[in-house]
Structure 1
């Protein structure tokens, strides 16, 4: 940011990063954290924000927006909330049945957020449409993808090895099981193909079991969660990135996965599903390929096409890089966000 200085606020402990300033409700003790989780109120946090001269509150996810409402009102500050995905796609009944106090409070008190929110930032047009369905005020919705650092992530030469990269939290909506089934087909057409999976989650054990059942052996590597630097290294070494997202049983959908933009920044084509906001960043037949949700055969066909044709992968990658520089440059997107802040403060 050029104009505003961020202070990171969280319920739980915030990881320390050089050059950043942060505070968490957990700093004030377990009782304070429990009280905040149940009631959405924290006197100590309010005092800290007032002492810091806070000008505006920006919550990420509607759940945290609901928690920020009492603070915004007590401090007389404008509240911006970014809607990312599950907060406007998971059904209300599933959120209530989760047993999580924060999710239950979100459903119960969302009307307060609708009334108090100065602006609601949607990471894609798809999320904007879902937000309207959820009851968010359409006249205060702004579509503003976060973007990626196109200076940090530079285009790399097309990888010589036929390697697919999948970066995801291992949960249902990421479609990893469909990718494994498609990759089993790909291996018959491209015997030296490999699949690298970066990420962890509750489905890791069953997904590893599925890979064994499909007899994929060493052709699939589950690396678990990795630092961003390592993820970018894996991105440079891959021929392409696969984002086979689906609508989960809960209704959960993607907003706009960051890995789609990072892949394009690195000049890597994306094979993904026509799901959520993916199609807003991937142009079918130009920067990658899109198939329908759960279309395992279509996924396998498109993956095979790019693995067999490095020149095509390179052409798609260059086009993707041009798209992300033009439409999803982090610096430009942050400037737009600060302009929005300026209209509210």
Structure 2
């Protein structure tokens, strides 16, 4: 097996478990996680190389300098002479850093776009030291990167608008592990509406609270469980109280993925009422919807960004206009009142995800693209 560098400067974020899930599903390539810092435990036995481990706590000035200069030398030092088959960066913001490394190593660079990296306005990137290099070097990334993958058709269109070459830019759903997420039994369902999201404007959690307050009076046993943390948490907790549903809304904060999936199996529905922010940021797809469908849980979501691609509308879930609290409350109430409809939507959702978003099939496609890139630079007759 050849090594493939999985490049993400902030490795193993709880909200980005899909990166490691894809990497661990590889069969002909061995993932080597490379980045700046660790934000979670990562997969068991994962080979991880981090600048924080190289430089320790006193290394902040060095990391700051590397952030600004994109110097690949520290990453080469971590690799200690290894020559991976290729580098796969996640998020365009990290692709511009991985580009310098791939160029130095002489290997192809694959970049996957997930959302904000194609929708956020450039003026917001330029405000952040961690992101400022992205708009400055995006043209070089588009010119030299060997393959660009978009996690939805919506993002593919955005990538072409941003100047990424059509001949090297493809739609590729990462998918979910349908073998790991089995459909839940009917008796597992409880009167819980689940929302899993970082608590930021993009996720529309404030609209969800307003909608829940409108429909909750007719469903006395219902509870709203919110898993995730973020800068809006305190304001949202206060809002729940002001709306009179504070005792019926449970804010659990960030939780490990296993805990999220345990709650998923108990939920009567998952709600993802995402919006487009003033900065232009919009949902690329919404991986949590695919996980819900894989477990046989129906979804209520908004018609924004790539979200409609993850719902078989009317069969696996309901889609409403963004920022339309009345429609959101109506959809939630309709599902809460109809157990048979929820069960039918759960079955349809499972079939929909298995047919279009199965992780192992999608990863096999990815590896075939890896193979083609490696062959293109291998000497005649050399094996992979």
TM over 0.5: yes
Q: Please identify, of 32-41 and 174-183, the stretch whose mean Cα deviation from structure 2 is larger.
A: 32-41
CA-to-aligned-CA distance 1:145-164 (integer Å, 9 cap, x gap): 11111111110123553310
Q: CA deviation at 1:12?
A: 1.4
Counterpart-to-counterpart distance in 1, 2:189 and 2:84: 51
Aligned residue number for residue 176 of structure 2 = 148
Q: Distance in 1 between matches of 2:114 and 2:159?
A: 10
CA distance in 2, matches of 1:157, 1:298: 29
With 304-313 and 16-25 compared, the bigger mean Cα shift is at 16-25
Provide the C-alpha distance between the structure 1 equivalents of 2:39 and 2:244, rounded to a whole number of angstroms.
Answer: 41
2:87 matches 1:57? yes
Q: Name the CA distance, whole Å, in 2 between partners of 1:118 and 1:175.
A: 36
Partner-residue secondary structure (3-state), 1:156: coil
**Equivalent residue in structure 1 for 2:51, among 17, 22, 25:** 25
Tell me, yes or no, if the aligned pair for 1:58 and 1:81 is still in contact at 8 Å.
Answer: yes
Q: Please, which runs of 5 or more residues in structure 1 have no aligned partner?
A: none
For residue 94 of structure 1, report the CA deviation from its aligned partner: 1.9
Q: Hey, what's the Cα distance between the residues in 1 that align with 2:39 and 2:235?
A: 31
Is the partner of 1:294 in helix, strand or coil? coil
Partner of 2:267: 238
Aligned with 1:133 (options 161, 169, 177): 161
**Residue in structure 1 matched with residue 297 of structure 2 by the alignment:** 268
Moved more, 22-31 or 106-115: 22-31
For residues 48-79 of structure 1, what are the alpha-carbon distances to aligned partners after superposition, in whole Å with 9 as ceiling and x for unaligned? 43622211000000000011111111111100
Distance across 2 between alignment mates of 1:212 and 1:201? 18
Aligned match of 1:253: 282
Partner of 1:337: 366
Asked whether the equivalents of residues 96 and 133 of structure 2 are also in contact (C-alpha less than 8 Å), the reply is: yes
Structure 2 unpaired stretches of 5+ = 1-25, 375-384
CA contact (8 A) 2:286 2:310 kept: no
1:100-119 matched pairs, under 5 angstroms: 100-119=128-147
Q: 1:103 aligns to what SS in structure 2?
A: coil
Which consecutive segments of 4 or more residues in structure 1 shift more than 4 A? none
Q: Contact 2:275–2:282 (CA<8 Å) still a contact in 1?
A: yes
CA contact (8 A) 2:50 2:78 kept: no
State the Cα deviation string for residues 13-41 of structure 1 (Å, max 9, x = none): 36454221010122332143222111011
Could you tell me how far 1:314 is from its partner in structure 2? 0.4
Partners of 1:89 and 1:130 within 8 A in 2? yes
Aligned to 2:10: none
